[in-house]
Each structure stands twice: as C-alpha cells, then as structure tokens.
Amino acid sequence: MSSKTKPDKTTIGLLALIVTQSACSVFFLSDAVADIIADGMAALNDVHLHVEMVATLSLIVAVILEGRFLVRLLRRNAHAERGLSIASGALHDLMEQYFHEWGLTPSEADVATFAIKGLDIAEIAEVRGTAEGTVKAHLNAIYRKSGTSGRGALLGLLVDDLLAQPLIERKEPPKDVPKASGLA
C-alpha cells in the first residue's frame, strides 16, 4: 500500500516547505491581528500594516497553491508507485485532464485510473480499501459523467485521442495540461 512505500524527496521537500510557510503565516497573521487589536481604528491608516498584510496574504496564497500542487503530486505517485506503470506522465496528464472535464471526484478519478489500467472490480476495491459495491457505484458515476457505456468505451476514448493526432504534435497538449488543471 502507499503508506508502506518510501515517499520521494520532492514530496517531502514540498511538505516541509508548506509546513514552514504555514507556521510563518500563523506568526505574521497573529502579529498583524494583535496590532489591529492594540491600535483599533488607527491601524487602518498604518501603511506599514497594509504592507505587512499584503505580504502575509501572498504567503498564504503561496501555501494554498503549493497544497494544490502537492495533491496532484500525491495522486500521480499513488498511481505510479503501484508498479502499474502509468509509464509516461503524458498519458496520466491526458487522463487527469479528462477527469477534470467530466467533474470526477478524487475517488472516481482514482477508480477510473485503475479501471483504465485494467484492474477488475475486486482488485480496485482491494487497492482502495473499500467494498466492491462502492467501486461499482464509482464506475457507474464515471460512465455516466463521461458519457461512455463501459470500460471498453472509456478506454476507446483515450486511445482515440492518442491516435487522432500525429505523434509529433502529441507532445504539445501534455505540456499545457499541468498548468491548465493544476496551478490555475
């Protein structure tokens, strides 16, 4: 299971950054709030405080963006580390883009990835630690949202997309995918 594999350095580094910056945000924000409480209305005219607040808010926004990036990283690793070899990140990005367009929940996206990789319902249930009934419900939602009739059609959609364009041009979309659905 994912909890038994060693997390990679990027994940740990990103986590450390998020924790550190969160702690700094707490410190700066509490400091600014204390100033506002101490000075009351006069604080509103304090330019220094304004600058402080903008800096603090920027830091908080950075933490949020890092958090979203971490979620994407964790999802990708969760699928790659199972030895299922999602292989190229390009295919994974393409799938993620579809899942995003269809409005799949994180659970549904996880199930869809495994379904595309060819795991059967019992195997998916085992990997995810849920009941088979739950996986079936997720699959139904996936087929409904994607407008496909089943696993074959779902896979066909991806294959179609991969074959539709010449391989050389195929290099373009994956580059844009992380930006489009990730940090936007």
Partner 1 sequence: MKNVKVWDPLIRIFHWSLVICFISNALITDPESQLHRQIGYVVVGLVAFRIIWGFVGSRHARFRDFPPSISGSVGQLSDMATGRKRIHVGHTPLGALMIYNLIVTLIGIAITGYIMTTLRFWGIEWVKELHEICVTWAEFSVVAHIAAVVWESRRTGVNLPKAMVTGSKTLPTEV
Q: What angle do CA 116, 155, 93 make, to 5 degrees?
A: 65
Residues 152-181 that bind partner 1 (CB under 8 A): none
Q: Are 124 and 114 within 8 A, CB to CB?
A: yes
Q: Are 100 and 181 within 8 A, CB to CB?
A: yes
78 in contact with partner 1 (CB under 8 A) = yes
80 in contact with partner 1 (CB under 8 A) = no
Query: Which residue lies nearer to partner 1 by CB, 72 or 145?
Result: 72
Query: Which residue lies nearer to partner 1 by CB, 130 or 170?
Result: 130
Contact string 105-134 vs partner 1 (x = CB under 8 A):
xxxxxx----------------xxxxx--x
Burial of 124: CB neighbours in 10 Å, binned 0-12, 13-18, 19+: buried
Q: 10 Å Cβ neighbour count for 27?
A: 11
Residues that bind partner 1 (CB under 8 A): 1-7, 11-12, 15, 23, 26-27, 30, 70-72, 74-75, 77-78, 105-110, 127-131, 134
